[in-house]
Chains A and B, each alone.
Chain A
Amino acid sequence: MSFVEYGDTIKDGDTAIVFLGHESMFPVKVQHGTVTQTKYGVIRHSTDLIGKKYGSKVTCSKGGWVFILHPTPELWTMNLPHRTQILYSTDISIITMMLELKPGSIVCESGTGSGSLSHALIRTVAPTGHLYTVEFHQQRAEKAREEFREHGVEHLVTVTNQDVCKNGFGVSNIADAVFLDIPSPWEAIGHAKSALKAEGGRICSFSPCIEQVQRTCLAMEEYGFTEINTLEILLRVYNVRTISLQIPDLGKAAEDNSSTGFDSSSPSHQGSSCANLQQGTVQFKSGVPLREVVGHTGYLTFATKS
């Protein structure tokens, strides 16, 4: 296993995802002789995990069971230990596309934070690209290095512990794309420009507040970036539910069934909804929005150096 290459079976040293159920999972480092506690009981790595296929159902000691999944950057994002606020897959997906990342791309990123975006970037630029990521917090930089090593992607990434606003990315004229997620991105635009290849590239800056975006846009213009474009992406998730609505009793049912407007024998109702006149209900499938959703993560400002 590695985060950039699928493997079939679980091996000693792998990072696997234990899937307990809807929205309930956690990562586990597979090690001979180790056990992991879950609410369904104990998982013994040597016997329950190692050698099994990814995607297998594993029965725990109390008889309950879980699925063991192959890690992906998306699963990692949902399960990683937070050291900072992180970027989620919805923002990551548009960042990746708008920065035009692909195998072979050279990317600069700052800050590294908890490495949520980093893993996704590495996945996309592998096997021939590289990520240069800059984190000014020494402990976080060290922790990120450790994770990249554990996940088998250290050859694709260089972590530098310095202040990107003062010292830049530590590379110049090399990058196809730059990503900034720092409190004052406008102070790093000059460094971003010199990190990008002479012939040009793309830049993205993520900021929660519009004032940050304004200063960043001005700085981008000052440094000659073009195609400056700010956008926001939001995810709407729907629960799939079967809903029953009662048919109101208008006193008509006794007289004429068809007048309710729900003729259960008509083919138009056999697909998505069905009426049960005896019970006085109509059933249908609906995608129901969650009661509370993420309303704002950050503004994404993209631009081109040409």
Chain B
Amino acid sequence: GARIREGDCAVLKRDEVFKAVSVLRRRKIIFEKQWFYLDNAIGHIYGTTFEVTSGGSLQPKQEVEETPTETKEAGTDNRNIVDDGKSQKLTHDDIKALKDKGIKGQEIVQQLIENSTTFRDKTEFAQDKYIKKKKRKYEAVITIVKPSTRILSTMYYAREPGKINHLRYDTLAQMLTLGNIHAGNKTIVMETCAGLVLGAVMERMGGYGSIIQMYPGGGPVRAATSCFGFPKAFFDNLHEFPLSKVQSLLSGTFTTETLPAEPEENALGEEESNGLGEERQISLQETEEEPATEAPMEVNPAEEQDTMDIHAEDVEFKENREKENRENVREKQMKQWERRKKLKEAAALLRERNADGLIVASKFHPTPLLLSLLEFVAPSRPFVVYCQYKEPLLECYTKLRERGGVINLKLSESWLRNYQVLPDRSHPKLTMSGGGGYLLSGITVLLEQGSSDCSTSEALQGEEPSSKRCKLQDLPC
């Protein structure tokens, strides 16, 4: 199996809570109110469960036989259980003392059980629940898993839904399927979901084919993409193209010479700080509602490195600054040249107008995006648009019908229900997500020159039969 290596992108898991981190030595990680170092995890197989021991080091958890197989004593109902707040004989200070002594979580749980006067009177199910709850609190075990779309999309939806426009993981799953994303495709992706949708598409394409990412502003955001830990080769056929140049590309006036000479760093910085500001607000709101909210996700190592370099430069190498500046200018010119070359490649790919699919999941109104970007897609190819809200997709649906060149339009939403399955205690989970967004999907067809496809057989049998419309209007009053 794959082993955890230094520099890897990994995901920490505790129960249902995830956190993406980069595996670095001597680096303190805070996760679920605990701190530890990942040093000892290096070399172990992904999927290994660790215990946090003293000094924040991780030790692989030994499989232990469940101990409470003593005299099983349990009540049948709760008619005599009174909440007097005194059933636990250990005080808060006692528990803290146990913890400070470095006693294993397992033993603390055992002590709590022994010192609970009501435990024996609880029903077997209630005892089970009590133990599970205490274990969760005192037995600090974390599993280190390999990142995947499953894990990262679940993590993002739980931790930072605002960054991904509340795109729930089952909705993302629908997009990948409806879009027929697979190896060999030439896919156009327009997203403002921190690069999560891009990463999901890259995973499904496995490095085969090409992706053109359309981006707003100064550059594409790929914070989530970097959490996947893709091999370098996956980025060879990943292209990017600025949204602001789409019109000129479609009208044939596009040249790379007209490219505004924005320094990449600035543009990226701006985009990221915007995202962060927004995020801070959101996480503040969340903390108010739910005090147990996690610290924001791990910054990716590259970003961290950058800020550290700048800091060091400020303090130590002030005198070398001018020289460095000159080098920077040269470097910037090189970067600019590279960027132009890449832009030309992306433009050429789009100009062929033969993409195998279009995936849109952004904070922008979907209609103008669709009307323009569909021009780059070949006939008989699927497209999928995500929107957090239904109404813009209603309009998009109408406008696409007016434009023509699309069939099989479908507006949908998926519902997800999780279940607790235990002997004699199976039921749907108490809470479920209220909404995971909406999708509009369809298939492109050859658009006949000069005629809008309003009179297609599809339109006749599709949207609103005129007889029905009459009925609605002719309702008796």
Q: Which residues of A come within 8 Å of B, CB atoms?
A: 4-6, 8, 19-22, 24, 40, 53-57, 64-70, 72-74, 89-90, 92-94, 96-98, 100, 102-104, 120, 123-124, 126-128, 197-200, 210, 213-214, 217-218, 228-244, 246, 248, 271-272, 281, 285-287, 299, 301, 304, 306
**A233 and B414 within 8 A (CB):** yes
Q: What is the size, in residues, of chain B's interface with A at 8 Å between Cβ atoms?
A: 77
Report chain B residues within 8 Å CB of A5.
184
**Contacting B445 at CB < 8 Å: which of A40, A55, A126, A218?**
A55
B180 contacts A by Cβ under 8 Å: yes
B378 contacts A by Cβ under 8 Å: yes
Report chain B residues within 8 Å CB of A232.
416-417, 419
Contacts A40-B457, A240-B397, A244-B472; A96 near B176 (Cβ below 8 A): yes
**A22, A229, A242: residue with the most chain B Cβ atoms closer than 10 Å:** A22
Contacts A231-B417, A241-B463; A94 near B173 (Cβ below 8 A): yes
Report chain A residues within 8 Å CB of B423.
214, 218
**B457 and A103 within 8 A (CB):** no
The DSSP consensus for interface residues of chain A is mixed
B381 contacts A by Cβ under 8 Å: yes
Report chain B residues within 8 Å CB of A200.
1, 47
In the complex, identify which listed stretch (B51-59, B128-136, B204-212) lies at the interface while the others stay far away: B204-212
How far is it, in angstroms, between the C-alpha of A232 and the C-alpha of B419 when the chains are bound?
A: 8
**B178 and A89 within 8 A (CB):** yes
Report chain B residues within 8 Å CB of A301.
421
B394 contacts A by Cβ under 8 Å: yes
B337 contacts A by Cβ under 8 Å: no
Contacts A123-B182, A240-B411; A103 near B206 (Cβ below 8 A): yes
Contacts A236-B412, A244-B472, A306-B47; A53 near B446 (Cβ below 8 A): yes
B42 contacts A by Cβ under 8 Å: no
Contacts A96-B173, A272-B391, A285-B394; A124 near B182 (Cβ below 8 A): yes
Q: How far is the CB of A222 from chain B (nearest CB, A)?
A: 13
**A272 and B395 within 8 A (CB):** yes
Contacts A103-B206, A213-B421; A22 near B461 (Cβ below 8 A): yes
**A21 and B182 within 8 A (CB):** no
**B408 and A19 within 8 A (CB):** yes
Contacts A55-B445, A67-B445, A229-B418; A199 near B1 (Cβ below 8 A): yes
**B421 and A24 within 8 A (CB):** no
Known: A19-B458, A40-B457, A69-B445. 16 other contacts (CB 8 A): A24-B461, A55-B380, A67-B407, A92-B177, A123-B182, A124-B204, A213-B426, A214-B423, A231-B418, A233-B415, A233-B417, A236-B415, A238-B413, A285-B391, A287-B390, A287-B411
Report chain A residues within 8 Å CB of B207.
103
Report chain B residues within 8 Å CB of A286.
394
Report chain B residues within 8 Å CB of A244.
472-473
Contacts A55-B445, A218-B423, A234-B414; A103 near B379 (Cβ below 8 A): no
Report chain A residues within 8 Å CB of B411.
237-240, 287
Report chain B residues within 8 Å CB of A73.
180
B410 contacts A by Cβ under 8 Å: yes
Contacts A21-B461, A72-B382; A97 near B206 (Cβ below 8 A): no
**A127 and B444 within 8 A (CB):** no
B243 contacts A by Cβ under 8 Å: no
The 7 closest A-B pairs by CB, nearest first: A55-B379, A199-B1, A103-B206, A55-B380, A93-B177, A306-B47, A54-B380
How far is it, in angstroms, between the C-alpha of A246 and the C-alpha of B477 when the chains are bound?
A: 8
Report chain B residues within 8 Å CB of A248.
477
**Contacting A97 at CB < 8 Å: which of B150, B205, B412, B443?**
B150
Contacts A102-B204, A241-B463, A242-B469; A74 near B177 (Cβ below 8 A): yes
**B421 and A236 within 8 A (CB):** no
Q: How far is the CB of B423 from chain A (nearest CB, A)?
A: 7
